[in-house]
């Protein structure tokens, strides 16, 4: 029998997979309040839930199911941990670029196949330098570039990580970044370098839209933000639109599989969706490599 959807007790129109760790009533992201362990609902925080109301003031009974996010992830005391780590990694690499200069950028950016006068040879993904598909996602040069991307990561990534859980969030981020790199590799000129976390950020933006639709939130703010970013993508010069579109598509598909997976087959559907996207990325990279080296 299909599980009945669980909705927030304060917002019955919003489905959720998160529960208060004290009274165990379902709560949506808007209602959850961070506690030392998990999240509490506003009534528990204000002390209005009594022992006679059917919920224990001391916490959930022994053996109670551990609260889960809407995607089935574990509720943690720091719902922004992975977001903070990603911020730290991006900033650390940016500082390293400031110290090392163009040589480090030339070794880590995404380029299909091009002659590098610094080393006197042809370099690129087509030459077996597969790491560029990943390292370019964490690479920035200009201050405004990394500032915009990291602010976007903080604003979008934190709530998304809290809603999905740490493992699902990092998988979503990495697959979105790889999706952006793969489409850039496929469609951009082979000697055109690209770098930045924009593909991953667009993936998080697409995932946010999917999540808000799943929870019956007002979609107008995220649609407006997405439309504005796409407008900048296709009207400003010097922007690798391929990375933005690739990240957006992959992030949207992965998030859909994560938050719409039926509970009885949640792990299978979520892993299958991620595996399918990874295979698609590998196929795109292989096709482009054959074009450049065949």
Closest CA to 134 of 102, 87, 180, 203: 180
Q: Which entry of 34, 198, 237, 260 is annotated as an active-site residue? A: 198
**Structural tokens at position 238:** 């010097």
Helix (H, G, I), strand (E, B) or coil at 121: strand
- Biggest alpha carbon distance in the chain? 78
Q: Is 197 exposed, middle or buried (0-12, 13-18, 19+ CB in 10 A)?
A: buried
Residue 184, CB-side half-sphere exposure with 13 Å CA sphere: 35
40 is catalytic: no
260 is catalytic: no
Q: Which entry of 140, 194, 244, 260 is annotated as an active-site residue? A: 244
CB-based contact 87:150 (threshold 8 Å) = yes
Give dist(CA 32, CA 42) in Å, integer.
7
Give dist(CA 69, CA 72) in Å, integer.
5
Catalytic residues: 198, 244
């Amino acid at each position: 029998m299909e599980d009945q959807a669980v909705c927030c007790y304060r917002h019955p129109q919003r489905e959720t997979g998160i529960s208060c760790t004290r009274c165990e009533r379902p709560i949506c992201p808007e209602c959850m309040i961070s506690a030392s362990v998990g999240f509490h609902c506003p009534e528990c925080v204000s002390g209005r839930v009594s022992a006679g109301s059917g919920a224990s003031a001391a916490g959930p009974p022994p053996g109670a199911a551990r609260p889960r996010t809407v995607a089935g992830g574990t509720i943690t005391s720091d719902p922004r941990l992975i977001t903070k780590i990603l911020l730290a990694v991006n900033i650390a690499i940016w500082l390293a670029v400031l110290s090392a200069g163009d040589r480090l950028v030339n070794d880590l950016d995404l380029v299909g196949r091009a002659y590098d006068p610094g080393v006197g040879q042809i370099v690129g993904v087509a030459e077996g330098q597969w790491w560029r598909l990943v390292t370019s996602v964490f690479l920035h040069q200009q201050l405004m570039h990394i500032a915009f991307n990291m602010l976007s990561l903080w604003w979008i990534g934190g709530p998304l990580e809290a809603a999905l859980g740490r493992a699902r969030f990092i998988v979503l981020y990495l697959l979105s970044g790889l999706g952006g790199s793969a489409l850039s590799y496929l469609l951009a000129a082979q000697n055109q370098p690209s770098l930045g976390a924009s593909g991953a950020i667009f993936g998080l933006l697409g995932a946010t839209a999917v999540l808000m639709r799943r929870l019956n939130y007002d979609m107008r703010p995220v649609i407006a933000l997405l439309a504005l970013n796409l407008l900048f993508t296709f009207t400003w010069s010097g922007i690798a639109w391929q990375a933005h579109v690739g990240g957006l598509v992959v992030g949207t598909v992965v998030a859909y599989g994560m938050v719409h997976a039926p509970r009885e087959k949640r792990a299978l559907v979520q892993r299958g969706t991620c595996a399918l996207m990874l295979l698609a990325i590998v196929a795109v990279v292989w096709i482009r490599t054959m074009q450049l080296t065949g």
